[in-house]
Structure formats: structure tokens, C-alpha cells
Structure 1
Amino acid sequence: MSNREEDGVVTDAESAFKTLGHDLRLEILLALWEAPEFSLSFSDLRKAVNERDSGSFTYHLSELQDHFVAETDSGYELQYPGHRVLDAIQSGVFHEQATVGPTELDETCRECGSSLAFEYGTDFIARVRCPDCGNRALEWPFDPGGTASRDPSAVVEAFDRRTRLVWSCALDGVCPFCAGRVERELASSVTDQGTCIGVIEQLERYDEYFARNHPVLVSVDCEHCSFYSFIPAGVVLLTRPAVTARLHDADIRIRDRPLWSLGFVVDEAAVSVQADPVHAEVAIVDTDKPLTFVVDETLTVTASHGE
């Protein structure tokens, strides 16, 4: 959003991108990031970027100052926006492509019992699926930077942890990408008995979503940036300490198991949607003791009556 004025401060996104549209300016940011003390004098910074023309260097440095770069008593340093620019570059999403796998996993498919496999491709989506029956246990975007300096097993673990972090943040109402406000609601495509809620039935792309067979999910939609998605209702249980304690007592140690091994997250049969009032019921299917949790429209989680 450009030319947005809040509290007397005008921000112009287009102007900011133009500021970064010169190779030398990006080289300056990189040089400051790589500096041993995260600060360089004018002359040392100029040497670091190998710019002979003092006038050109002074001009491009001045264009970065007061927002991306700050001048301090010890030299020039990156400001927070400068770090964020480099973070985006290092994520690899603008200029890199990576592939991983297929890598066979220890976990088995809940549909046919075969081993699941992890694969990451050039569409920036990491997938955990069954090569035999095609069951898609879990899919989510992953940055190419997450594959750097990691063997396939470490990439798999990083994907699990990163996905948990993104989902947890979104379910708490904070966008994991821009920190904007996330609107959250239960969403379902079930139409019988008046239980249809949310907007899934209006979105053709939902037919391609990995949890498309789940009767109810949580719709998350950032009010500030482009982030939106549907999250399995069972993931809400992972973000509630009182619930995770109950799961631990039931010998389900959620931090020791990847998302795709948790039946209440990936198994459509573990989740149902109920009306009057609208809520989701999530059954714990990986324990001998029956245990069901209720997720209401405010994402409050309670144990089912009598448990």
C-alpha cells in the first residue's frame, strides 16, 4: 500500500523499492551486514563495495541513509529496514530455486500404511505425501534459504518447525510475515444440517488444498498483506498449553513428533463440525484413551463434556 499516512508519517512503498533499485545500494547493505563489528567507516565501506567513484558512492549511500542505513559515531550501520531487505534476499524467494528429495520418512500414510515421503520443488512448496496412494498429508510454502547448509533430514525438521511457527503466529492473530492483524474464523464446506460456515465453498483453489477433505478448518486472512490460508482445526490444539499438557499425559509428545504424524492434525476422520453453536470437535486418535476437544468460533479450546 503506497502513500499511506498514519500519525502524520507518510510511507511510499514504490519510492522505497526504487531506492533499492541500484546494484551498488544493495552491495552497501550487504557490506554492512558482513562487517565484523556491523559498522564501517565511510572509507572502509567504500573499499568493501569496491567503488572508485567517490561522488557516485556518496550519492548512493545518501539515498539509503535515514531509513535503511544510519550514520553513528563509529560509522555506518544497518537500520531495521535494511536488515529486513537482506532477510528477504537471503530467503532466496526472489532469485533462487532448490529441490530436495523425495526423501523417505519414518512416518506412514494413514490411508494405506506405506511410508510417507518429503519433497521440495521449484514451486516453493514443501510436500509430505504418500508415493503409493497419493495421499497429501501436509503441504506448505518453504523458502529456498531453508535448504542451505542442511542435509535432507535437517530440511525436513526445519520445514516442520517453520510451519508450526507460522501457524501458531497466525492463530494468535498476528501475521507471521508483516505483523499485521489476522482475521480468524472457522471455515467449512459441509452444507448439511445448516453447518456451512466460512468461505471455502466460494474458492475454487480450495479444491487443490492439501486438507481439502477436512470438514472444518481455520481460515486466516491478514488485513494488511497478502497472507491468507486455511489451517487444519487440530493445529489449534498445539497452541494451547492446557491442551498440550493433556496430550502429554496421554503420551503424545507433540514436540517430538512432526505435524504429519499427529492424527488430529492430518486425519480428516478426527475432525467434525457441529452447529448450534458452530464449533469443531477434534478427536485424539493416537491414544487408547478417548479424548476429544472442542474448538469454538473464538478458537477457544475446551475438553469435550465428560473428559
Structure 2
Amino acid sequence: MIDEPSPRAETASDAESAFKILSHDLRLEILLALWDARDYALSFSELRKAVGERDSGSFNYHLEQLQDHFVMKTDRGYELQYPGHRVLDAIQSGVFHEETSVGPVDLEETCRDCGEPLAFEYGADCIARIRCSDCGNRALEWPFDPGGTAGREPEAIVAAFDRRTRLIWACALDGICPFCAGRVERELTSHVHEQGACVGVIEQLERYDEYFARDHPIITSVDCNRCSFYSFVPVGVVLLNDMVVASRLHDAGLDAEATPLWDLGFVVDAAALSIEETDPMRIEVAIPDVDEELAFTVDEELAVTRKSAP
């Protein structure tokens, strides 16, 4: 029996080939020149002039290495293709070469543990953090590309972090990887809870001790089958993807769309969650920021239903 290569091995081989194609400075300069061009296209002579390469033969060789995938020859000249855009997107995100810090930026929202103001901070590890400067409570932490800080005032950076985090979570919880569009496996998972039943594998991950929602009795695990994306998402975020829930919250006086993630109690408060059943899994998510008693249940398929009053 012949052992077939694993998908990860094939991916590594394909990636190695792609990186080799992009390994020469001139090839990246060609992509950048096309990106700067009107309609992302230039003639041969215009492109060579744009990158400042005098040797026509050398330029032609490197251009040919990019053709038919990153660059396409068309009636308009040489045109930047979608894969070329994605290469430049990755570079412009800043994650490979930029070290940016922001804050602390004082926020209007207050800590749910002690009532003191929260603050936003961003550092060289590319993690944005919403923390209480008084008691140290970590309300929310999530990766954020350095490119998100460019050209924005601090308040706009905070708003961009909130919006982008929502989009990533919504996409992942919908089963689609926000980075490679691969299939995302989703499941409710936890460490050992009060009934003594073990759900998921969190207890095997030492890094979970550093997770901002580590005190939650249950969270949602998201894991892409294709790329390296995986993480844990608060169960309350599942409610944000349900239009019926959003409408009901609005009727109750809570605009979940306009309220920052770190000020939504059903997202960040461990006390808002309780495990109703373990087989099958059912989680109650209470809404602490409205005047009426309101709660929803999330099942193991991440389906949401309103919990009826007793």
C-alpha cells in the first residue's frame, strides 16, 4: 500500500513553490507597480520603466515567472490578477514587517467587574486588548492587523477593531474561514464543568489559561480544515448572527449592532452563560443589559431559540 501525502504536506509543497516565485525583489516590485497603475495594467515598456529595470532580458525573465497566475498578459498590457492582489494585501496588512503600538486609549465603556473605565491598547504582538486599567479585567482580546491602525485616529482604530472582529467571528461561525474561505468546524466546548463532564479539548491547551474568556463555562471552538485559523469565540456572539435575536434585543432597548462587543454583557460576562444540558448540549445565554428578563438558548448545532419565561 502506498502512503498518500497528507493535505498539509501538499499545501507546504504548493506554498514553497509560490514563495519561490515571489522570492526576487524585482517580482514584488512588478506587482507593486501594477497595483499603483490605473486599472492595474501597464504595457511592457511602461512596467519596465515603473520598476526602473534597465536590463530588458532580466526584466522579461522575472515578468514571465509571474505570468499566468499573479500577472496576465491582456490587450491592455500586463494586468494584476486576483492572486497578485492577495499577495499585496498580505504585505499591506503589515503583519510581516510592521511593529505598531497604540494607546492606551480611554473608552466610554466601563469595566463590568469594578465599574472603572476600560482602555484600548495595541502592541507589537498584533493583539488588540480591551482592559480595565484599575482591576486588570480583560474584557476582550483579538488579533488586529497593523494596517488597521494606519491613517486612523485612536477612536477610529477602536471602532475598526470592533467592526472587523465582528466580521471575522460572523464568518467563522457561519462555517467559512475569514482568511482562506475553507470549511470551519464549529463546536461548543469547555473545560471540566460543575457536573464533572468533560466537553472538548480545552483542558489540553495551556494557552487557554491566557484566553480573555477563560472564565466562561462554555465557548465555541472554530477550526479551519484548510489553513491555520482556529480560535475560541464567546457563545454569546452566536446571538449576534441571528436577525430575529437582533430585532428582539432592539425591541428590548439594546442595539447590539451599535454597542461595542466589550459592552455586551451576553458576550463578555461569564455569568450570562449557564449549561442547561450536556447531551445534547444546550446553553442558556441571559441578556443582562435590558430591563426585562430575557434569555436565549444555543444548541450544539449553534441554533438559537428564545427561552420561554417559566
TM over 0.5: yes
Q: 1:157 to 1:40 in 2, by over 3 A?
A: same
What are the equivalent positions in structure 2 for 1:228-243 lying under 5 Å apart? 228-243=230-245
- What is the CA RMSD across the aligned residues, in angstroms? 1.2
Instruction: Specify the SS of the correspondent of 1:299.
Output: coil
Q: Deviations over 1:99-134 (max 9, x none)?
A: 100000000000000000000000100000001000
Aligned mates of 1:186, 1:215 — CA distance in 2: 10
**3-state SS, counterpart of residue 28 of structure 1:** helix
**TM superposition score normalised by structure 1:** 0.96
Say if 1:180 and 1:223, in contact at 8 Å, map to a contact too. yes
**Deviation for aligned residue 1:156:** 0.1
The number of residue pairs the alignment matches comes to: 301
Tell me the secondary structure at the aligned position of residue 228 of structure 2.
coil
Q: 1:114-153, aligned counterparts within 5 Å?
A: 114-153=116-155
The Cα of 1:66 is off from its aligned counterpart by 0.5
2:52, 2:115 → 1: CA distance? Answer: 59
1:153-198: per-residue Cα shift (whole Å, max 9, x none)?
Answer: 0000000000000000000000001111100000111433254311
- Residue type of the partner of 2:285? V
| Distance in 1 separating the partners of 2:256 and 2:182 | 28
Deviates more, 1:239-248 or 1:185-194: 185-194
CA drift of 1:203 comes to 1.0
Quick one: which amino acid aligns to residue 288 of structure 1?
Answer: D
Hey, what's the Cα distance between the residues in 1 that align with 2:88 and 2:231? 26
* Distance in 1 separating the partners of 2:213 and 2:98: 28
Distance 1:300 1:237 in 2: 9
Partner of 1:279: 282
DSSP 3-state at the match of 1:288: coil
Distance in 2 between residues matched to 1:156 and 1:195, nearest whole Å? 39
| SS across alignment from 2:78 | strand
Task: Name the aligned partner's letter for residue 154 of structure 1.
Answer: A
Contact 1:30 1:86 in 2 (8 A): yes
Amino acid at match of 1:181: R
SS in 2 for 1:210: coil
- The match for 1:161 is 163
Residues 32-55 of structure 1 show CA distances to partners (whole Å, capped at 9, x for unaligned) of 000023210000000000000000
Equivalent of 1:83 in 85, 91, 115: 85
Distance in 1 (alpha carbons) for counterparts of 2:256 and 2:24: 46
| Cα deviations by residue, 1:273-305 (Å, 9 ceiling, x for unpaired) | 222431111000001101110000000000112
Rounded to whole Å, the distance in 2 between the matches of 1:64 and 1:164 is 35
Match of 1:7 in 2: none
Q: Identify the match of residue 294 of structure 2 among 291, 296, 300.
A: 291
Is 1:306 aligned to 2:309, yes or no? yes
Matching residue within 188, 199, 224 for 1:222: 224
Identity %: 70
The CA distance in 2 between the partners of 1:197 and 1:80, in whole Å, is: 41
Mapped to 2, the partners of 1:31 and 1:188 lie a distance apart of 49
The one-letter amino acid of 2:215's match is: N
Query: Could you tell me the TM-score, scaled by structure 2's length?
Result: 0.95
**Mapping of residues 25-104 of structure 1, within 5 Å:** 25-104=27-106
Equivalent-residue separation in structure 1 for 2:196 and 2:209 (angstroms): 21
Q: Distance in 1 between matches of 2:301 and 2:34?
A: 45
Aligned-partner residue type, residue 100 of structure 2: A
1:172-187 equivalences under 5 Å are 172-187=174-189
How far apart are 1:250 and its partner, in Å? 0.7
- SS of residue paired to 2:38: coil
User: Structure 2, unaligned stretches of length 5 or more?
Assistant: 1-7
Counterpart AA for 1:169 = C
**How far apart are the structure 1 equivalents of 2:300 and 2:216?**
17
The CA distance in 1 between the partners of 2:238 and 2:143, in whole Å, is: 19
**Cα displacement (A) at 1:94:** 0.5
CA positional deviation for 1:13: 1.7
The alpha-carbon deviation at position 251 of structure 1 amounts to 1.0
Which residue pairs with 1:189 in the alignment?
191
Contact 1:195–1:274 (8 Å) recurs in 2: no
CA distance in 2, matches of 1:13, 1:108: 45
Q: Give the corresponding residue for 2:204.
A: 202
Q: Match for 2:28: what amino acid?
A: L
Moved more, 124-133 or 249-258: 249-258
Q: Which amino acid aligns with 2:90?
A: A
